[in-house]
Amino acid sequence: MIVRRLYSVAAVAAVCLTTLGTVGATPATAAPAAPAGPTWTITPSASTAATDADTLYGVSCTSPTRCVAVGNYYDTRIHTLAEVWNGANWTMTPGPDPSPGSDSGLAGVSCTSVASCVAVGFTSAGSARQTLIETWNGSAWTVAAGPSNSPTQGSELGGVSCTSATACVAVGGFLSGSVFQTLIETWNGTAWTITPSPNTSSSLNNNLSGVSCTSPTACVAVGSADNGTSGRTLIETWNGTAWTITPSPNTSATLNNFLAGVSCSLVTACVAVGSADNGTSGQTLIESWNGTAWTITPSPNTSSTLDNNLSGVSCSSPTACVAVGNADNGTYGQTLIESWNGTAWTITPSPNASTVFSNYLQGASCTAATACVAVGKSDNGPGAQTLAMSAVAPGGYRLVASDGGIFAYGGSPFLGSMGGMPLNQPIVGMAATADDQGYWLVAADGGVFAYGSARFYGSMGATRLNKPIVGMAAAPDGKGYWLVASDGGIFAFGSAAFAGSAGGIRLAKPVVGMAATADGKGYWLAASDGGVFSYGTATFKGSTVGKPLNAAVVGISTSPIGTGYWLVAADGGVFSFGDAAPHGSAGGLQLNKPIVGMTPDQTGNGYWLVATDGGVFAYGDAPFAGSTGNITLNKPIVGAAG
């Protein structure tokens, strides 16, 4: 059978939502091979009692190591369920049940940072279900005041999408007499309000189950609408002023079609997924938006006579999407994952917690083409347990030279450079966006150059500085960055908030770099003597001040969880603090050229060091994908970013 979300309010229900160090002095001469695609593995997740029915319906990740998943568990009634992923473990985070003794559940979640998430669902606050909205501040969940259409008519939300902490859209349905109609609510940073949304008919069921926004003025919501004979796909579009129905195709004029989830990487690039009956069984349904029209994109199935269903989708770019759901094997439902490479959808092998009980995936979140998380449930006989799995590949890295030349390796794409272009001052560093589809370069005068998905938010290029810029760090949401000068002065742009600086402090040694916390509300500065300065939510975990160093510290990188950091010295020595685990160093190697920086891989279980000749040293699970160590460079390498 087609698996449908427990809380759908429409009659045509919709499912909502160890690598050796490589010596830079002797790099490989062959062109780097393309990285292998990530393998999906189950990551143990928290569940309540073995006899309870636990399910995760939605997940939202701000990085490969920071995710929030929501759902519900059932003992004698339905309770909200929320869990947090820190890159190593899933931890249950108790959320409030707003109506003690009554049912409450969560169906979707959207996070703009590790300390800003919105989850939506329903609560039974009286004679009928009402909408439920909860917010996460990084440490606790609280119930937010959200409107419902009527205290005596059912209302619930199935999906949510936030583009910032002050701009969210939630979708679902409400009971109007004897039929369900679309429901859309909007958050403006102060209050949730109901936004008028169209229906195909006021006398037939209409319901929205998923939504994706690329900006506060550009959203797409999907679901299903009854036409009196069968369920039809339903897609609505927000232009900042009004919601309108956008024509969407169906596989048949007489058989059920519905859409459960949607993901937009651009205003002109969206993917919606669901299921379509073929007369015998439900089959996967994928539709694509190119900015002009929705079209059905061919998608594979495990069988044409057994049910295949897609419940959620996440796209990190127009050419990298993952859709998840379940496929019947004749006895049980098993997990189903399909991947889009810009040309075709293919089934990707996915694990199951059990081969003798059903397994279902309900939601997915990808922060990059090689970093995805999926959630759902696995039956265990007496009940069901939460199911979570991830596909994270170490990815690749880029090197930047002082003339702005960029050298890309592994899965990190080349997106442009300043090589060959006149610069007022040399490039001194770079930072990459979380999706690895963009990066910024910064010059010593504070000039900033943006490429790919990275946007320009300002620079210090036209301002006279006391000391030169020596580095930069990207805001975790990809919508801002900080620049740091050698005197510890900080310059914040976009969403990167100023939290303090060492600009007015007399320093023993110059600052050489900076790293941001995972929540984007703090950062560390590192000086050449290994001194560390903490601001905002960044916590001081130690330094090398007072310790004899063989060579000066040249950089700092933060751990994925954001509660630790590494310092790297010019001789390749690596110093670990907090939860930043040591994976090795080049401190005992004879180098052709000094180290100038380091960058961690996407898993946080490895890192790369880079020398001025472009020699690359890989540690932990960070793979060596190539270097410029054997290439004559116009200018020296000055930094790297994953």
Q: pLDDT tens-digit profile of 465-505?
A: 999 999 999 998 888 999 999 999 999 999 999 999 999 89
Q: Whole-model pTM?
A: 0.74
What mean pLDDT do residues 147-175 have? 91
DSSP 434-501: TTSSEEEEEETT--EEEEET------STTS--SS-EEEEEE-TTSSEEEEEETT--EEEEET------
CATH of domain 44-392: 2.120.10.70
pLDDT class for 394, splitting at 50, 70, 90? low
- 111 within 8 A of 93, measured Cβ to Cβ: no
Q: In this predicted structure, what is the pLDDT of residue 602?
A: 75
What mean pLDDT do residues 636-642 have? 94
Tell me the two tokens of residue 84.
């947090």
Question: Does pLDDT of 274 surpass 50?
Answer: yes
**What radius of gyration do the chain's Cα atoms show?**
25
Tell me the two tokens of residue 558.
């933060």
Which has the higher per-residue pLDDT, 62 or 158? 158
What are the residues facing 525 on neighbouring strands? 514, 533
- Per the prediction, the chain carries an average pLDDT of 90
Question: Does pLDDT of 23 surpass 50?
Answer: no
What mean pLDDT do residues 139-165 have? 90
Percent of the chain predicted with pLDDT > 70 = 93
Q: In this predicted structure, what is the pLDDT of residue 65?
A: 83
What are the residues facing 596 on neighbouring strands? none
Q: Which of 195, 226, 200 is nearest to 211 (CA)?
A: 195
Question: Does pLDDT of 30 surpass 60?
Answer: no
Question: Does pLDDT of 28 surpass 90?
Answer: no
Which residue type does 317 have? S
Q: In this predicted structure, what is the pLDDT of residue 37?
A: 52
Give per-residue pLDDT as tens, 328-367.
999 999 999 999 988 999 999 999 999 899 999 999 999 8
pLDDT class for 226, splitting at 50, 70, 90? very high
Q: In this predicted structure, what is the pLDDT of residue 152?
A: 74
Q: In this predicted structure, what is the pLDDT of residue 411?
A: 80
What mean pLDDT do residues 182-200 have? 97
Give per-residue pLDDT as tens, 543-602.
999 899 999 999 999 986 667 999 999 999 999 999 899 999 998 899 999 999 999 987
Question: Does pLDDT of 126 surpass 90?
Answer: no
Q: In this predicted structure, what is the pLDDT of residue 166?
A: 95
Question: Does pLDDT of 176 surpass 60?
Answer: yes
Question: Does pLDDT of 244 surpass 70?
Answer: yes
Q: In this predicted structure, what is the pLDDT of residue 435?
A: 74
Give per-residue pLDDT as tens, 70-81.
999 999 999 999
CA distance 60 to 477: 13
Q: In this predicted structure, what is the pLDDT of residue 370?
A: 80
Which residue type does 279 have? G
Strand pairing of 231-238 and 243-245? antiparallel
CA distance 365 to 39: 15
Question: Does pLDDT of 3 surpass 60?
Answer: no
pLDDT class for 456, splitting at 50, 70, 90? very high
CA distance 49 to 257: 36
Give per-residue pLDDT as tens, 527-541.
999 999 999 999 999
Fold: same for 44-392 and 397-641:
no
Query: In the chain, what are the domain boundaries?
Result: 44-392, 397-641
Q: In this predicted structure, what is the pLDDT of residue 2?
A: 32
- What CATH topology corresponds to 397-641? Methylamine Dehydrogenase; Chain H (2.130.10)
CA distance 359 to 324: 12
What mean pLDDT do residues 307-326 have? 95
